[in-house]
Structure 1
């Protein structure tokens, strides 16, 4: 800052005012200071400024697993990228905390209560971080839920239409002529599992098919174990005397490993069995055959979550909608087709 002041021919305090509160410095001086700062490549020390103002620019993102590979596994990095970029453009930094142990939950609450963060974006999971008698909601911070609907608890939630998207995908399979299904389930108690399976059941009912048209497999493995879930479902499928003509997976990981497991056993995809995934993982386009899937709007999910957080920070009185639902879309690729004889 001293170098900028010398080059612009002003006092250091004038540089400080021009960069922090431009309206308090006349336009000619402000432009001279801005030109000097640009010439020298000067970047204000945000951390020091925030310490003086007693205001953090950190937004915490809490993750339910030991890494970003969780929940709707392969889409999370894309959601995070757009969330972080939008916050950064508005002067905020994104910090990550995992909440997979009591010590981690204590750390999260410590950050929330001591002023280290200005808001929290909660990814997935059934419960908010808590420790002892304290919960994240007691910290009086803006909270945004991403991917899980917590609107009933008064927390703004950014979600995708899991139920409606799955319904659309299964209705497409039914329109192709499929009448028997194997469903590869996600973990029990999962918000995504419940929404997606109910979408499948809804599609069957709409088409006049009974619940007996679908065999539900798995449901004991977490989303982190999606590849293993697909392998186990494929082994069950291969052992069946009467095999379903279509397999619907709660997540792309399971769909991808299912294809990789049955094809070496002479099962042709989609001639013998059609496969539908959910998430829109980029790797699905490179499967053999490419995976038909329900692609989540990762870019819009991240951007919208950031926008809601920024709105809460700037004007808590002007509350955003409690629930924002963004549509997933059906990506038709080579893993689905009409069943034999249809």
Structure 2
């Protein structure tokens, strides 16, 4: 072993351990562990002794030590409903989380993530909230708040903000985009190009975004006196995280229609489905936008590189995350409850995947 490795090994073995903190504080090692993980579950006098011992030994020279000193966490939890950080409107989630994390950090707080993909994971979120480890929770895209047994996040006594899904009717401050109004604008754009028949690629039935966006399509049809008979609706059985598969399946259903029955425009509940729909129909001889115009929803960056580039409703992803963070910081600072719902508008991003039915460019 060279001298650098020997020095590193010596430093590792000489570093204070949890048992050292416990011995100096006069408590059990399990008490130190509990104090570090859930400060609210340890009485104030014991917590202060552990914090002092940890600082004296240099065991926790970071945020956790400060949490022990003041008895108050500086952690905000982002609770994600899927099995990974990429879920739902998968193309925008990284930007949403970037806006959330950077704004939380500017306010002096730390952001951690938890995926509620099992009862054990939901229990973990609830334990963190009730145990005092987290000061607030931003719930992304969830139909229901995390709950386990008789305990629910709603009863934890900490601020909760819903991001991407409107839960304002339940008294939870919500930050959303204008799904319905934005889709209405997008379909009216297609109608202005003289489209009168539509193939709608749906998200999961009952999903908040699916309901809002399909309603926006119907709103646009009503403006010009068209009924829902102008729409062939496909899908509803796949979630947003299965968007690419949804688009492929929808494309095959579209291709199975007789030429005379094929709608001139495809309206997609999410960009993932729109992207795979474009690739599949084009590989089967259907020209886009000459034979079918296509519009998506999300504003996925990859949409600009499709052939042709995808017209879409672009969500203000980073702004959505930042706005949710600002509301959380205000609540943590003792501000009054904000407006029940904060809406950050999406915008229609025109590209070459939409044109008049005869194929003349919209430009």
TM bin (shorter chain): 0.7 to 0.9
Any idea what SS the aligned residue of 2:263 has?
coil
Alpha carbons 2:123, 2:148 under 8 Å: kept:
yes
Match of 1:144 among 147, 150, 161: 161
1:210-264: CA deviation from partner (whole Å, max 9, x where unpaired): 1100011010001111000000100011111121000000000000000000101
Match of 1:244 in 2: 263
Distance in structure 1 (CA, Å) of the matches to 2:125 and 2:72: 18
Distance in structure 2 (CA, Å) of the matches to 1:274 and 1:91: 47
Any idea what SS the aligned residue of 1:73 has?
coil
Match of 2:186 in 1: 169
Structural RMSD (CA):
1.3
Match of 1:338 in 2: 356
Measure how far apart 1:45 and its partner are: 3.2
Distance in structure 2 (CA, Å) of the matches to 1:188 and 1:264: 28
1:124-166: CA deviation from partner (whole Å, max 9, x where unpaired): 1211100111110110010000000111111100000000000
The reply on whether 1:291 has 2:310 as its aligned counterpart is yes
The reply on whether 1:198 has 2:189 as its aligned counterpart is no
The reply on whether 1:93 has 2:95 as its aligned counterpart is no
Distance in structure 2 (CA, Å) of the matches to 1:328 and 1:210: 25
Q: 1:231 to 1:178 in 2, by over 3 A?
A: same
Distance in structure 1 (CA, Å) of the matches to 2:170 and 2:225: 36
Match of 2:232 among 215, 222, 225: 215
Distance in structure 2 (CA, Å) of the matches to 1:144 and 1:168: 28
Distance in structure 2 (CA, Å) of the matches to 1:57 and 1:126: 27
Distance in structure 2 (CA, Å) of the matches to 1:218 and 1:310: 39
Q: How does 1:105-144 map to 2 (within 5 A)?
A: 105-144=122-161
Alpha carbons 2:99, 2:322 under 8 Å: kept:
yes
Match of 2:202 among 185, 188, 206: 185
Distance in structure 2 (CA, Å) of the matches to 1:214 and 1:82: 36
Match of 1:14 in 2: none
Match of 2:279 in 1: 260
Any idea what SS the aligned residue of 1:304 has?
helix
Match of 1:325 in 2: 343
Any idea what SS the aligned residue of 1:293 has?
strand
Any idea what SS the aligned residue of 2:92 has?
helix
Measure how far apart 1:46 and its partner are: 2.7
Any idea what SS the aligned residue of 1:178 has?
coil
What is the TM-score of this pair, normalised by structure 1?
0.86
Distance in structure 2 (CA, Å) of the matches to 1:243 and 1:313: 54
Any idea what SS the aligned residue of 1:107 has?
helix
